A and B are shown apart, each in its own frame.
Chain A
Amino acid sequence: MSFKTFKGGVHPGDFKSATEKKPVVPAKPPAVAIIPLSQHIGAPCEPLVAVGDEVKMGQKVGDSKGFVSAPVHSSVSGKVIKIEMCNSALGRPVQAVYIENDFQDTWHEDVVPNPNWQQLEIDELKKLIREGGIVGMGGATFPTHVKVSPPPGQVIEYVLVNAAECEPYLTADHRAMLERPEDIIVGLQIVMKVVNAPKGMIGIEDNKPDAVEALKKAAANFPNIEVHALHTKYPQGAEKQLIKVFTNREVPSGGLPSMVGCVVQNPGTCIAIADMVRFGKPLIERNVTITGSGIMEPKNMLVRVGTPLEEVIEQCGGFKSNIRKMVLGGPMMGFSQPGPENQPVTKGTSGILCLTDQEVQLYDIRQCIKCAKCVDVCPVSIMPLFIGSSVEQGMYDKAEAYNAMDCIECGCCTYICPSRRPLVQWIRMSKGDIAARRAAAAAKK
């Protein structure tokens, strides 16, 4: 069975040849691990340790009482030397626990395997997922235990594994599929059990035929798990588009995938779930693709959470002299950073993309020529040109009327615009204003 593709989208090109054939190599553990207390969507954690405490690897160092939250763990064993602010991908400083590594890698006592993991009840599995600090590793870092706890009454029919990795340059998930395909299937099975879904479907873009093969082999003995190659087009890995392609259902505007019977997981998250449930190992490391023409030695690395970006970059030979932009994530939706200083790899760091002078252009913004290319490529069928010009003129209510809040910020419109209009940036600006006005209106009631 082949699936049609979704409406819109662009073909920016792969740019994956630098790293797609390189096996994941472990990064050296950091001298000082910087563990941010917020690496997820939701309430930030409070520190559970104090300066001077001895901590072990896999020990919980921060937790929160909020439901939408996830604990954070130390990725090394050593001593807490300070609890201070560090830089984060979004630009806001976050509080972090700084741990000096004793390089003993002593695991904490709580990290014990569960040999009877297949007999565990749903509630026990959810508790393990939460205690493991597992969050969505595609980049959004939504707490997984919340995602697998849909409101009562919502029946989940499909668990979809988003193995598209549609962002150019990134190959972290691709390598995970080649190197640990069975663990992805285990994680998927666990999620299917927790949400009681009869079917699991894995979607991989067809520019990764070896990964399709590997996962088909791993899933061969599981009749309720299917693996499908999907047409390569950005953003095939956008959750809403994946759901549309697999099920022909649309997530209602403002709603969640569980409302149309779907739960979507990244393959890295599946592996993390498998590791926690089977071995008691919390989320303390992840695959990261360090790539781009601005880095000396592009690599895929298994990096411990908390490793300073500077150390990872050094282990890849360092920046080239003509480096001009460093992006955390992929080139379409990643965040450009002012520098790698005082900032660690976190649970959501899928890639470090280093771009050079030739690839970074500062453009003049021109008039909209109504070419309608942005309308044609928009995967959610909103009107980027009209939202953009409304924001340009400060008319945020018009931006709302043109459905700015439904924008998935994929960047297709901005990518394709010949006038180089910063459409996504304008739409993001309007979202803040619209959300504030809606909150104020709701407060009045």
Chain B
Amino acid sequence: MDRKLVVSSSPHLKTTESVQSVMIDVLVALFPAALAGVIFFGAPALITMVLTTVSAMVAEAIILRQRNIFGDGSAAVAGLLLAMVLPPTVPWWLAVIGGVTAIVIGKQVFGGIGNNIFNPALVARAILMASWATHMTTWVRPVDLATAATPLALGQRAFSFTNLFVGAVPGCIGETSAFALILGAGWLFYKGHITWRIPGGFIGTVFIMGFLFGGYGGAMAMFSAGLFHVLAGGVMLGALFMATDMVTSPVTAKGQLIFGIGCGLLTMLIRIFGAFPEGVMFAILMMNALTPLIDNKTLPRKYGEVAK
């Protein structure tokens, strides 16, 4: 026969998923929350999202010397996630610097995708926060965009749980609507890209600590406090989309649970005892640092492990 046959190692069947398809799934999952951000905060939110996403993609395309600006989609995801954790009214140049920083310092200096230790969007946010604290802590309320304080600053009684759940409260572009975030995350659960371990550990721990420390006067008040801490601020976004970032979270089952619980614990310690009203960003960054150690200490028992 005249055709040359391909000889390669088994398996000869492969999934149709690729890094790019996974990243596109994440973008799809972020869409409801991004839409909610635009509905609540209008044009400034949309502009910020476009600027962070495009600047991230361009930065990565230049560094990796790739013609295709979308590439494997990971830069777009990092850029969009950054916008989700920015106040809607940040200046355009801050958004651009943020997008570039996320890719350059958050990812490429480590050796590119798969090698970074810290969540790139959160690295950028931390740098922006340290450099331009005023811009990064100026909040507006939905629709009329008048300056306002966030739920975490004002406390439990300022907003109804309905508003907190739907997201009609001041905050970062993508963090306010628990409803939109859960809807989008459902797509990631369905595709098998995330499991309950990290979000469950994170949200569960936040709830329990809010329950124990946040409320006074009976079970109902304690329950409300727990729920408030879950819905207010960046816990839902952090637990469902940031902490679950594959590259920077553990690969073992036990490790993922520990990671989620650790994020929740640190978030609440910062919220209750620390100077900042919100602790999600620092909590996740600190747990990112612990991920390699957690992985090493939680390696699963192999099949047929002979007990020593």
Give the B-binding residues of A (Cβ under 8 A). 10, 12, 168, 240, 244, 250-255, 319, 321, 323-327, 331-340, 353, 355, 360-363, 366-373, 375-376, 379-383, 385, 402-403, 406, 409, 411, 414-420, 422, 424-425, 428
Which of B1, B5, B13, B246 gathers most chain A CB within 10 Å? B13
- CB-CB contacts below 8 Å: B241-293 with A: 246-253, 256
CB of B246 within 8 A of CB of A332, answer no
CB of A324 within 8 A of CB of B5, answer yes
Q: Check A382/B246 contact, CB under 8 A, given A370-B114, A424-B10, A425-B9.
A: no
> B111's closest neighbor in chain A, by CB?
A367
Residues from chain A with Cβ under 8 Å of B7 in the complex: 325, 336-338
Q: Check A385/B9 contact, CB under 8 A, given A250-B303, A363-B14, A380-B303.
A: no
**What are 6 inter-chain pairs, A to B, with CB distance below 8 A?**
A244-B303, A331-B12, A333-B10, A337-B5, A369-B114, A385-B251
Residues from chain A with Cβ under 8 Å of B114 in the complex: 367-370, 419
Give the A-binding residues of B (Cβ under 8 A). 1, 3, 5-15, 17-19, 21-22, 72, 74, 112-115, 192-193, 246-253, 256, 299-306
Q: Check A325/B115 contact, CB under 8 A, given A339-B1, A372-B246, A420-B18.
A: no
Q: Check A424/B11 contact, CB under 8 A, given A336-B6, A372-B251, A419-B19.
A: yes
A359 to chain B, nearest CB (A): 8
CB of A411 within 8 A of CB of B5, answer no
Residues from chain B with Cβ under 8 Å of A402 in the complex: 299
CA of A411 to CA of B3 in the docked complex: distance in angstroms? 27
CA of A349 to CA of B303 in the docked complex: distance in angstroms? 29
CB of B303 within 8 A of CB of A381, answer yes
CB of A323 within 8 A of CB of B3, answer yes
CB of A339 within 8 A of CB of B5, answer yes
> B296's closest neighbor in chain A, by CB?
A386
Q: Check A418/B302 contact, CB under 8 A, given A368-B114, A425-B9.
A: no
CB of A250 within 8 A of CB of B304, answer yes
CB of A418 within 8 A of CB of B5, answer no
Q: Check A336/B19 contact, CB under 8 A, given A369-B246, A370-B251, A403-B302.
A: no
CB of A336 within 8 A of CB of B5, answer yes
> A15's closest neighbor in chain B, by CB?
B13
CA of A367 to CA of B301 in the docked complex: distance in angstroms? 26
Residues from chain A with Cβ under 8 Å of B301 in the complex: 381
Q: Check A369/B303 contact, CB under 8 A, given A324-B6, A325-B12, A332-B10.
A: no
B304 to chain A, nearest CB (A): 4
CA of A418 to CA of B23 in the docked complex: distance in angstroms? 11
Residues from chain A with Cβ under 8 Å of B72 in the complex: 366
CB of A252 within 8 A of CB of B304, answer yes
> A332's closest neighbor in chain B, by CB?
B11
- Name A418's contact: one of B18, B248, B253, B304 (CB within 8 Å): B18
Which of A244, A336, A363 gathers most chain B CB within 10 Å? A336
Q: Check A371/B11 contact, CB under 8 A, given A336-B6, A382-B302.
A: no
CB of A371 within 8 A of CB of B246, answer yes
Q: Check A375/B303 contact, CB under 8 A, given A327-B12, A332-B10, A362-B6.
A: no
CB of B302 within 8 A of CB of A406, answer yes
B71 to chain A, nearest CB (A): 11
B144 to chain A, nearest CB (A): 42
CB of B14 within 8 A of CB of A406, answer no
CB of A336 within 8 A of CB of B113, answer no
CB of B306 within 8 A of CB of A334, answer no
> A425's closest neighbor in chain B, by CB?
B9
CA of A266 to CA of B8 in the docked complex: distance in angstroms? 27
CB of B3 within 8 A of CB of A255, answer no
B211 to chain A, nearest CB (A): 30
